[in-house]
Chains A and B, each alone.
Chain A
Amino acid sequence: MQLVCVSRGEQERGKDFAQTLAHKLDFECLGQEELADLAVQEGIAVGKLEMAAVNKRHLTERQVLEKEHFLAFITRVLCERVLKNNLVFHGRAGHLAVPGLTHVLRIRTKIETETHTEEVMSRLSLDRIKAGKYVERVDEDISRWVRTMYNISGDPWAGYDLAVNLDRVDVEGATTALCSFVQLPEFQATPVSAKVLENLLLAARVRIALARDERTWAASFSVRAEAGHLTVSYLPRDMAVGVRAPDVVTKVSGVVDLTCTVASSNILWVQEQFQASGRTFDAVVKAATHWHSAVELMKLIPAPTGSSSADATDRDTGAGVEPPPPLFTARQVDGGIEDDTERSAGLIGEDDDLRGMFGELNARGIAGSASRLPDDMRRIRAAVDRSIPYSLVVVDEVFLNHGHAARLRKTRELVGRLGEVISAPVVGAEDLDQMVRTSWSDFVRMIAMAAIVVVVFLLVFSHQKEILEFFSPTTAGAKIVAAFVLLLAVPVFAVMYGTLTGAVLRLFHVE
């Protein structure tokens, strides 16, 4: 069940590298081209989709559906093969198609532009200038493809475990060295990764079934699976089609139960213990209802007591002094083997508070998905599916078995890490409360702003002639003063009245 993903662009040498590595490891080998052929057989217009992504076009609604179908197809193929065999996939950023799978070895091969140009010159019989332009264009196209397909906003070539420069080492030497690297515990499959694979596979199968069915193909769906518990969410504008989803989903084998949610975005709520009452719950429900969002629950399972010296220090001292960084963290001493017993990513059904919370959210029509994860930064970061449009991330009480100082530090670190992978505000419970609640002070501020707006209107409309005369300057000095006043007054009025309007409309759930 090992997976090695080689991002090699269009380089022939990268393809050789992946095939040789697979041969030496006795792994199955799958290339981007073969995957694209399989997708075409599935009925996906891969060529058109590729052209749309590469040619800088924004995707049409139909192409977005095609993209969802294609991504689910890639995930299905990779998961099916990895569950049967060990696999080397070579092509474009295959690891992004299996979010949450932490044992993937992500390799990027590269060769110098000059060498690549020469390769292209001999392969395509082009002169140096044309070959150089071709290489530059192909690299840009691939970056664009990865960005469009996986919603990556930054450098698509970041986030690899290894970069192999095939100009410095030959394929034979590089693959021989990597055979040992692949054996490291970090890249071995565990029961946890098997569960993740099964979840991804089921979600992908369901998404494909929805894309294949003539009743549901025309809507955009987001599908999450957790041990047979399916959560399917669709956009408010797709409601007419989305209501037919249960008929299709329940026919897919492996589906235990189904939750359907209408949502235009997701709110990720990270906490250690969920309670269906209290200020955070009320605030999350209010935000999700107003914003038409689905709430995704991520329950963090704390590390066992005494797993790290730093944590122990914190617990003893209680708070205040930041301890020195530990020599070995829990992650370092486990040799890369993920904890599969006490802190496993388990079933929703096995977890009373998570199940209870999910039920409460479901009753309100805002349930997204629910998952359990160890409180390990790497696992949390890897579990985030970047293709999901998050509108907000709420981090409430986490790292509770740590001392006050360590809890604050770790929470801050978690907020930072989540902020790196999710382009939405990451807030704490108090900030969320302020965002959704209209307090008395808010009312007072609204009334004050409304009063100022009314006074400004009264002043302007009771002195129309004078005001118009002021803004029709004839002398140079008067022109400067009029321009200055206009450039100052207009934005101040716009921001004040705009804020007031937003606050008033929020009271009527228009946000």
Chain B
Amino acid sequence: MPELIFSDFIALDLGTALQVVLLGFIGGVLSGFIGSGGAFFMTPGMMNLGIPGVIAVGSNITHKFGKALMGSRKHGELGNVDKKLAIFLLATSFIGIRLAVWINTELFGVADAHGGGKGAAANLYISLVFVCILSAVAISMLRDIVKSRKEEGPSRKIAEALGRMRLFPVIDFPVAGVKVSLWVLASVGLATGYLAGTIGVGGFIGVPAMIYVFGVPTAVATGTELFLAMFMGAFGALNYVIEGFVDIRLVMLLFLGSLVGIYVGTYGTKFVKEVVIRLVTSIVILLCVISRGIAIPVYLRQLGLVGFNETWVSRLNVASKGMLFLAGISGVVVIMFNVAKAYRRRESIRRSLAETAGLSNKN
């Protein structure tokens, strides 16, 4: 258990601080590379450093607020934000966030029969939601990759069924060019808000829902999600800071790495094929899920639900942390390798063009 500096906040030495910056950088690279996300790496990463899950989520959602502000500004300039759609989604997402914060706060206070294991219930709950949701996301991404190789698109069964049902009232969104039932909007908003508030990951649900369920163009879905994330992040940050679960030091350290990482990740998309992007992302997510799964027995033990030797706790913690960093670092290495390879090839083409032009000028 790490040393506490105040209340439930851990003391940050240089090593831990650098690890948080690295988490931010890897999360930022993945976020820039995929177009959304990054929290799926940063939240469990912070938990692996001994930061209570609630504080990891609270700090991450505060960080998400600032990050989305930067991203949505760019998308807004390009006309990729459907503000009307975002406003409709926001209304119910706030309810989802509030619900998530309430559950997390209540669980944080739960302790075992001897008064120990404070925060373990919240950690367990966050980890379980994380494992369930992100396993589904990673598996569906991998299935899409296989399907697209067979020239099939992702499943549209849900969207088609909802379209047939025509649940009134149906709202028209001219920027995105879609008409969506208010009930579907409310459900998606609620789910996105709940997940953003619980594990800090909202984009993984919001963006696919907008693309596949609403039929919004990809660029508008990403832009609108970032716009949405800005307000969801602000609301989430507000709720968590009122409960005293925002560690501003972590927010700043995450920014330090993530805002550099986002630029690098976005740059990488120019050089890497979409199928590789999706493959790398889904594998990284799967490894993150395994890493979180490894940590679950530790929380069960803290709650007194299972019993095993103390040495296993540190082994499991090391394995979970190692797996997470392995996932993130290998993902970043794949991206950087492709960028470097493409850059070298481009430079060689440019050199040969310049040489040819030089020769023709001499002639």
Which residues in window 472-511 of A have CB below 8 A to B?
Answer: 472-474, 479, 482-483, 486-487, 489-491, 493-495, 497-498, 501-502, 505, 510-511
Contact of B252 among A153, A262, A493 (CB under 8 A): A493
Say yes or no: is A378 at the interface (Cβ < 8 Å to chain B): no
Docked complex Cα distance between A35 and B272 (Å): 35
Is A467 in contact with chain B by the CB < 8 A criterion?
yes
Q: Is the CB of A239 within 8 A of B345?
A: yes
Are B270 and A292 in contact, with the CB atoms below 8 A? Answer: yes
Contact A48 B244 (CB under 8 A): no
Chain B CB within 8 A of A444 CB: no
**Contacts known (A498-B259, A501-B260, A505-B263); A490 close to B237, Cβ less than 8 A:** yes
Contact partner of B237 (CB less than 8 A), chosen from A144, A153, A359, A487, is A487
| Binary contact track A340-363/B, C-beta < 8 Å → 1, others 0 | 000000000000000000010011
Q: In the complex, A485→B12 CA distance in Å?
A: 23
Q: Is A317 interfacial (CB-CB < 8 Å)? A: no
Q: Which of A14-22, A57-65, A199-207 contacts B (4 or more CB under 8 A)?
A: A57-65
Point out the residues of chain A lying under 8 angstroms from B215, CB to CB.
Answer: 56, 144
CA distance A505 to B356 in the complex (A): 31
Distance (Å) between the CB of A43 and the closest chain B CB? 13
Q: Which of A81-89, A102-110, A458-466 contacts B (4 or more CB under 8 A)?
A: A458-466
Residues of chain A within 8 A (CB-CB) of B204 are none
CA–CA, A162 to B251, complex, Å? 58
A143 to B270, Cβ gap below 8 A?
Answer: no
**B111 contacts chain A at the CB level, 8 A cutoff:** no
In the complex, the answer to whether B177 meets A60 with C-beta atoms within 8 Å is no
In the complex the two chains form, is B346's CB within 8 Å of A55's CB? no
Q: Does A364 contact B (CB under 8 A)?
A: yes
Q: Is the CB of B153 within 8 A of A57?
A: yes
Give Cα A414 to B354, complex, Å. 34
Q: Chain B 201-219, CB within 8 Å of chain A: the 1/0 string? A: 0000000000110110110
**Bound complex: CA of A469 vs CA of B156, how far in Å?**
50
Q: Does B309 contact A (CB under 8 A)?
A: no
CB-defined contacts of B342 to chain A, threshold 8 Å? 236-237, 239
Q: How far is the CB of B80 from chain A (nearest CB, A)?
A: 9
Contacts of A472 in B (CB 8 A): 6-7, 9, 244
B248 interface contact, C-beta 8 A: yes
A235 vs B342: C-alpha distance in the bound complex, in angstroms?
Answer: 10
Specify which chain B residues have a CB less than 8 angstroms from the CB of A160 in the assembled complex.
Answer: none
> Count the A-B residue pairs with Cβ separation under 8 angstroms: how many?
176
**Contact pattern, B 45-72, Cβ under 8 Å of A = 1, otherwise 0:** 0000000000000000011011101100
Give chain B residues whose Cβ lies under 8 Å from the Cβ of A60.
148, 151, 153, 274
Name the contact of B271 in the complex, choosing from A45, A153, A237, A469 (C-beta under 8 A): A237
Residues of B within 8 A of A363 (CB): 353-354, 356-358
A486, B63: Cα distance in complex, Å: 11
Q: Is B247 an interface residue (CB 8 A)?
A: yes
Q: Is the CB of A493 within 8 A of B264?
A: no
A236 touches B66 (CB 8 A): no
Determine whether the beta carbon of A58 is less than 8 Å from that of B267.
no
Q: Are B70 and A498 in contact (CB under 8 A)?
A: yes
Closest-CB distance, A307 to chain B (whole angstroms)? 36
- State whether A236 and B354 are in contact (beta carbons under 8 Å apart), knowing that A58-B211, A423-B79 are contacts in the complex: no
Please, how many angstroms separate the alpha-carbon atoms of A493 and B9 in the complex? 22
Contact B350 A364 (CB under 8 A): yes
Across-interface contacts of B256 in A (CB, < 8 A): 497
- Judge whether A482 and B350 touch: CB under 8 Å: no
Residues of chain B within 8 A (CB-CB) of A264 are 270
| Residue from A48, A52, A56, A464 within 8 A of B178 (CB atoms) | A56
Contacts of B238 in A (CB 8 A): 483, 486-487
A362 and B353 contacting across the interface, CB-CB below 8 Å: yes
| CB-contact partner of B273 in A55, A237, A243, under 8 A | A237
Instruction: Say yes or no for B255: interface residue by CB 8 A criterion.
Output: yes
Whether a CB of chain A sits under 8 angstroms from the CB of B295 is no
- Given B79, B248, B263, which contacts A510 in the complex, CB threshold below 8 Å? B263
B62 and A490 contact, CB distance less than 8 A: yes
Does A468 sit at the interface, judged by CB under 8 A? yes
Residues of chain B with a CB closer than 8 A to A240's CB = 345
In the bound assembly, the distance between CA atoms of A144 and B215 in angstroms comes to 10
Residue B34 is within 8 A (CB to CB) of chain A in the complex? no
Measured in the bound complex, the distance between the Cα atoms of B69 and A191 in whole Å is: 52
Shortest Cβ gap from B53 to chain A (Å): 17
- Judge whether B349 is part of the interface by a CB distance below 8 angstroms: yes
| B353:A365 contact, CB within 8 angstroms | yes
Complex formed: what's the CA distance from A427 to B242 in Å? 46
A147 at the interface (CB under 8 A from B): yes
Q: Which of A48, A58, A467, A502 has the most CB of B within 10 A?
A: A58
Cβ of B153 and Cβ of A471 under 8 Å apart? no
Known: A362-B357, A456-B252, A479-B242. A237 touches B70 (CB 8 A): no
* Given known A56-B215, A365-B353, A510-B264, contact A495–B178 (CB-CB < 8 A): no
Bound CA span A360–B26, Å:
40
Chain A residues lying within 8 Å of B69, measured Cβ to Cβ, are 491, 494-495
B234 pairs with A487, CB closer than 8 A: yes
B323 at the interface (CB under 8 A from A): no
Q: Does B143 lie at the interface of the complex (its beta carbon under 8 Å from any beta carbon of A)?
A: no
Other-chain contact of A511, B153, B234, B267 (Cβ < 8 Å): B267
- With A236-B271, A497-B255 as contacts: A464 and B5 at CB distance below 8 Å: yes
By the criterion CB–CB under 8 Å, are A497 and B350 in contact? no
Residue of B nearest to A61 (CB): B274
Q: List, in ascending order, chain B residues with CB within 8 A of A292's CB.
A: 270, 346
State whether the Cβ of B23 lies closer than 8 Å to any Cβ in chain A: no
**A236-B346, A359-B357, A464-B249 known; A58+B7 contact, CB < 8 A:** no
The answer to whether A486 touches B241, judged by C-beta atoms less than 8 angstroms apart, is yes
Residues of B within 8 A of A474 (CB): 244
Complex CA distance for A497 and B259, rounded to whole angstroms: 8
Most buried by B among A48, A143, A236, A262: A236
Question: Would you call A457 an interface residue if the criterion is a C-beta within 8 Å of the partner chain's C-beta atoms?
Answer: yes
Chain A CB within 8 A of B78 CB: yes
- Do the beta carbons of B177 and A468 come within 8 Å of each other? no
Taking CB as reference atom, which chain B residue is nearest A499?
A: B70
Task: Supply 20 further A-B pairs (C-beta < 8 A) apart from A457-B252, A487-B234, A490-B62.
Answer: A45-B151, A55-B153, A56-B214, A57-B153, A60-B148, A62-B148, A236-B270, A292-B270, A359-B357, A460-B248, A468-B248, A473-B241, A490-B66, A490-B251, A494-B255, A494-B259, A495-B66, A501-B259, A501-B263, A510-B267
**3 closest cross-chain pairs (CB), A and B:** A494-B66, A56-B215, A363-B357
Q: Could you jot down 26 A-B contacts, CB within 8 Å?
A: A45-B151, A56-B178, A56-B211, A57-B156, A60-B153, A62-B151, A63-B151, A147-B217, A235-B270, A236-B271, A239-B346, A239-B349, A262-B349, A359-B357, A363-B356, A365-B350, A464-B12, A468-B9, A469-B6, A471-B241, A483-B242, A486-B62, A494-B69, A498-B66, A498-B70, A505-B260
